[in-house]
């Protein structure tokens, strides 16, 4: 087993980190304090990201992306994750992989404008009464003539205000299974401006300021049959095939923020003096730093192993869940300990630590809560024993 990085991977790390420090860090405080990311700033940074080859780098080369293997992609995501989430996700956008599941016509209509930076996509799954339990969704679609008619409400839909379209997952019937009836799910492209489709402001979030969420309402919203993504009633198959690696993406951005917080803590412990010596010489601080570094290394190894398995074709759901679970919980621990080492100054917004601490909280909820990740891991363990 080889743990070294290639020269190309090191170049990706260096180029992405340099861009983040030069183009994103200077705007973090303004975005945090205003909870707003101006469109003119988005377009300015977006242009620089495109010129630097960092925009849509998660996409394959045949559609204009960088064609990165999974590990290289996650190293890139880790560097972007160091910055305010709204800045890196919106200004250095990575279109959802699920867009690759579209037909050639759908790719041209929806994927390519996202890759060119002309618009953004968003995914609509979560509902007020159905979060982790997607089978419990109430938003539905029925066939009427050659069209589908959508009704229902979605919420917590990220950056839907900017997106030119959404991929909406709707219940489209039921099927009998050995464990009882289950809902069939279908994914639909719905263009902004379609009659019966409304995007409303969402909720103010303590995490990821400037990164908006919205409430989507569908009221007899009619879309043609060619707007189905994948096959009718096979929305889960599409999601499971194309969205699984998003947990590794979350893990990687968590690693970036955790690494930033750790190095701020190390620097402060070395320079801050109390009782005639640097506070890093006191075991109460130095042991914290040792634990923080050890836990971060463990989370990195879990994530990089899952990335390697992705490229080998042997990754399991449990592999990805372990990475996401460990990285998100390690981020929370490191952010908290970094603030403790800084004392009162750690809570001031002149430093990024209080932001990293706030942002860390949502990572254990979205893309599958920590409890859901533990369920996936334990289920795989038990299935191996016939349980």
Which region among 20-24, 134-138, 218-222 has the lowest average model confidence (pLDDT)? 134-138
Res 387: pLDDT: 65
- Model confidence over 193-233: pLDDT tens digits? 999 999 999 999 999 999 999 999 999 999 999 999 999 99
Look at residue 119 and tell me whether its pLDDT is greater than 90. Answer: yes
Look at residue 12 and tell me whether its pLDDT is greater than 90. Answer: yes
**Enzyme catalytic residues:** 367
Instruction: Report the predicted TM-score, pTM, of the whole model to 2 decimal places.
Output: 0.93
% of the chain surpassing 70 pLDDT: 99
Section 4-24 average pLDDT: 96
- Model confidence over 74-102: pLDDT tens digits? 999 999 999 999 999 999 999 999 999 99
Res 1: pLDDT: 65
Res 181: pLDDT: 79
Give the span between the Cα atoms of 184 and 166, in whole angstroms. Answer: 19
354 falls in which pLDDT band (50, 70, 90)? Answer: very high
Strand ranges for the chain from DSSP E: 121-124, 140-144, 147-158, 165-177, 180-191, 197-201, 213-224, 228-229, 273-274, 277-278
């Amino acid at each position: 087993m080889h743990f070294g990085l290639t020269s190309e991977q090191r170049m990706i790390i260096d180029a992405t980190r340099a861009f983040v420090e030069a183009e994103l860090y200077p705007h973090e405080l303004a975005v945090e304090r205003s909870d707003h990311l101006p469109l003119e700033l988005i377009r300015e940074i977006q242009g620089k990201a495109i010129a630097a080859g960092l925009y849509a780098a998660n996409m394959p080369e045949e559609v204009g992306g960088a064609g990165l293997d999974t590990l290289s992609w996650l190293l890139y995501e880790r560097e972007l994750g160091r910055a305010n989430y709204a800045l890196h996700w919106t200004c250095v956008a990575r279109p959802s992989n699920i867009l690759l599941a579209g037909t050639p016509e759908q790719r041209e209509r929806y994927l390519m404008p996202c890759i060119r930076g002309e618009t953004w996509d968003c995914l609509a799954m979560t509902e007020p009464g159905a979060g982790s339990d997607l089978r419990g969704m109430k938003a539905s679609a029925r066939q009427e003539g050659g069209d589908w008619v959508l009704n229902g409400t979605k919420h917590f839909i990220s950056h839907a205000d900017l997106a030119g379209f959404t991929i909406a997952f709707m219940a489209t019937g039921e099927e009998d299974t050995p464990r009882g009836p289950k809902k069939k799910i279908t994914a639909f492209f719905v263009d902004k401006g379609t009659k019966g489709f409304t995007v409303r402001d969402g909720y103010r979030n303590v995490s990821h300021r400037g990164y908006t969420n919205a409430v989507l309402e569908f009221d007899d919203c009619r879309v043609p049959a060619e707007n189905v993504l994948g096959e009718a009633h096979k929305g889960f198959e599409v999601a499971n095939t194309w969205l699984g690696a998003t947990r590794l993406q979350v893990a990687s951005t968590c690693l970036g923020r955790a690494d930033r917080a750790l190095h701020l803590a190390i620097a402060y412990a070395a320079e801050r003096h109390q009782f005639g010596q640097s506070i890093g010489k006191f075991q109460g601080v130095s042991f914290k730093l040792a634990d923080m570094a050890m836990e971060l290394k463990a989370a990195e190894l879990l994530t990089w192993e899952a990335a390697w398995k992705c490229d080998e074709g042997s990754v399991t759901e449990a592999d990805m869940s372990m990475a996401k679970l460990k990285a998100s919980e390690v981020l929370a621990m490191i952010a908290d300990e970094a603030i403790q080492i800084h004392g009162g100054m750690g809570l001031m917004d002149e430093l990024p630590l209080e932001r990293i601490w706030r942002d860390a909280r949502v990572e254990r909820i979205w893309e599958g809560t920590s409890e859901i990740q533990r369920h996936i891991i334990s289920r795989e363990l038990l299935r191996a024993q016939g349980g």
